[in-house]
Amino acid sequence: MLFWILTATLVAAIALLMLLALWRGGAASQTGAAQDLGVYRDQLRGVEAELARGVIGTDEAERLRLEISRRLLEADRAARGSVTAGSAPIAATLGGAVAVVVVLAAAFGVYQSFGAPGYPDLPLKARLEAAELAYDSRPSQAEAEAAAAARHGAAPAPDAQFVALMERLRAAVQERPDDPVGLELLARNEALLGNYHEAWTLQRRLIALKGETATVEDHVALAEMMIGAAAGTITPEIEELLGDILANDPGNGIALYYMGLMMAQLDRPDRTFVIWSALLARGPETAPWIAPIRRSINDLAWLAGETGYVAPDPVMAGPSAEMLAAAAALAPDARVALLRGPTEALMAQMAASGGTADEWARLIAAQGLLGDSARAAAIWEEAQRVFADRPADLALVSDAAAGAGLPGGVAAPRGPTAGDIANAASLSPDEQAGFIDAMVGRLSERLDAQGGSAAEWAQLIRALGTLGRTEEARAKWALAGAAYGDKPDDLAAIRAAAVAAGVAE
């Protein structure tokens, strides 16, 4: 109510001042013209009096009469104009009053429609208290999942063939409930189907089964499944899990991203900005949390009061996987020219702020392609210490070390493994065909993006020939021939596969 009283008082005072200015302006102009007429009449009478006393002559008196008469006529015209103009402020006053009323009525209507009548002030203390209240009153995981189910309803029906495979996987896990491989596969595929509650329940069983051998990645997967079940709400249970992850891995990007998201949900953009801007500056640009942060960081900075913030430009640190694959097909001198600068830049960045497993792997691969085996070996030795308690990350770096020919490196399985083939034997012919196509497709995509060993290229070409995809096999043979043209032994192995596939002689 006080707001309306103050607003009405200010508007009335301003309107009154404007009306008084209009009214006084007309009255002042009329008073000034009347005074000039009186002065000139008195001067005419004074001329006649001086002529009668003989003070001035007839010629002088005539000249004065003409001059004063001219001024008198001008003053009379001015007086007549002021009378006409004097009526104008009255109309202007009425028009101004009407305009003020119309503008006020329109402003009131707009405010009623789009404003927030009666909305209280939001001082910083009140906002902080509201954020604390929102934090304390967050829904539990069960409540958030129930609300999400009510909002979104049933998920669309998946592919019938995939459903049949899922039923078989569920039955297998039910028969062997302590099989960690089965639990992990089922949890991830339930998440793909949108069955997040079942997914995180299975993932929690998997972590309990693994005990102390459970990795940070296992807990991160559990957190993401719980967040999916809660439709993005960071519940107290999820926050506790994220806290445990950060206690073991303080720089974990996914956990930090979700902590920032929780602060945004509690109307604390200032805290979200601190977390997300640091993640954005740290990179790498390929990290899954970078894209959503980059989309919202400018608006978030404005809400946090950071008006001078400028988001860093996207930069890929070091050579990309595509660059490494291209370099493998080049002559040694051209390879050095392509890789030396990006590799040194990546080393400098990692020396200053550490790096992800992907960056360690790309650095080792680049040093191997540059022919600096000693440096690659030193980096691999250091990586084994850094990632000793993170098996998934260590496997990624170990694969790069194997590709660089370093002792102790273990290449990741490529394409269908013996276990995959054994599993495929129990499928129907159509299911087997789909299974093999998927496996070969993944191998083909990886080799196109990252390159690979001669054995992998030979395996892919031979598999494409067996599947009758001759044109694809011929294209892969051309790529592999270019990559291994300076390595006769490797090229011979690939050529043998190409001959078997019918695309080489």
List the domain range (segments joined by +) for residue 240.
Answer: 178-303
- Eight-state DSSP code of residue 117: T
Same domain, 290 and 395: no
385 and 453: one domain? no
Q: What is the pLDDT of residue 81?
A: 60
> Residue 417's pLDDT is what?
46
At 92 the pLDDT is 62
Task: Look at residue 42 and tell me if it is in a domain.
Answer: yes
Phi, psi angles (nearest 5°) of residue 89: -55, -30
CATH of the domain at 255: 1.25.40.10
Judgement on whether residues 396 and 425 belong to the same structural domain of the protein: no
The answer to whether residue 156 is domain-embedded is no
How many domains does the chain divide into?
4
The residue out of 78, 98, 114 marking a domain boundary is 114
The answer as to whether 308 is a domain residue is no
Write the CA distances from 415 to 358, 431, 435, 444, 479, integer angstroms.
20, 17, 11, 9, 18
Task: Please tell me the number of Cα atoms within 13 Å of 248 on its side-chain side.
Answer: 18
Residue 418 is predicted with a pLDDT of 41
pLDDT on residue 493: 75
| Nearest alpha-carbon partner for 274 in 248, 245, 247, 309 | 309
The residue type of 407 is P
Read off the DSSP letter of residue 140. P
Q: What is the dihedral of CA 451, 454, 457, 460, to 10 degrees?
A: -130
Domain end marker among 403, 427, 456: 403
Shared domain for 334 and 291, answered yes or no, is no
204 and 271 part of one domain: yes
Burial 430-448 (b: 16+ CB within 10 A, else e): eeeebbbeebbeebbebbe
Is residue 409 a part of any domain in this protein? no
Given 303, 334, 364, the domain boundary residue is 303
Say whether both 91 and 22 belong to one domain: yes
Residue 260 lies in a domain: yes
Query: Residue 433 corresponds to which amino acid?
Result: A
- Measured CA to CA, the distance from residue 477 to residue 177 in angstroms comes to 44
Alpha-carbon radius of gyration of the chain = 42
E strands, 371-418, are none
- With vertex at residue 209, the alpha carbon angle to CA 208 and CA 210, rounded to the nearest 5 degrees, is 90
Burial class (CB in 10 A: 0-12, 13-18, 19+), 86: middle
* Amino acid identity at 473: A
Burial letters for 269-288: b for 16+ Cβ neighbours within 10 Å, e otherwise?
bebbbebbbebbebbbeebe
Does one domain contain both 9 and 95? yes
**What contacts 423, CB < 8 A, 6 or more positions away?**
none
Q: What angle do CA 9, 15, 16 make, to 5 degrees?
A: 90
What is the mean pLDDT, run by run of 10 residues, along the chain of 505 residues? 70 69 53 67 81 79 81 74 52 68 74 67 75 90 91 73 85 90 89 90 94 92 94 94 93 93 93 94 79 91 90 76 83 86 80 76 91 90 88 84 85 52 52 62 73 76 81 85 74 80 81
CA 2/CA 120 separation, integer angstroms: 11
Q: Judge if 184 and 290 occupy the same domain.
A: yes
Residues 6+ apart with CB under 8 A from 113: none
Q: Both tokens of residue 182? A: 């089965």
Query: Has residue 61 been placed in a domain?
Result: yes
* DSSP H helices in 1-57: 2-53
Residue 345 domain-assigned? Answer: yes
Question: Considering the domain boundaries, does residue 100 fall inside one?
Answer: yes
436 plus 393 within the same structural domain:
no
**Three-class secondary structure of residue 226 per DSSP:** helix
292 and 365, same structural domain?
no
User: Do 287 and 184 share a structural domain?
Assistant: yes
State whether 332 and 298 are in the same domain. Answer: no
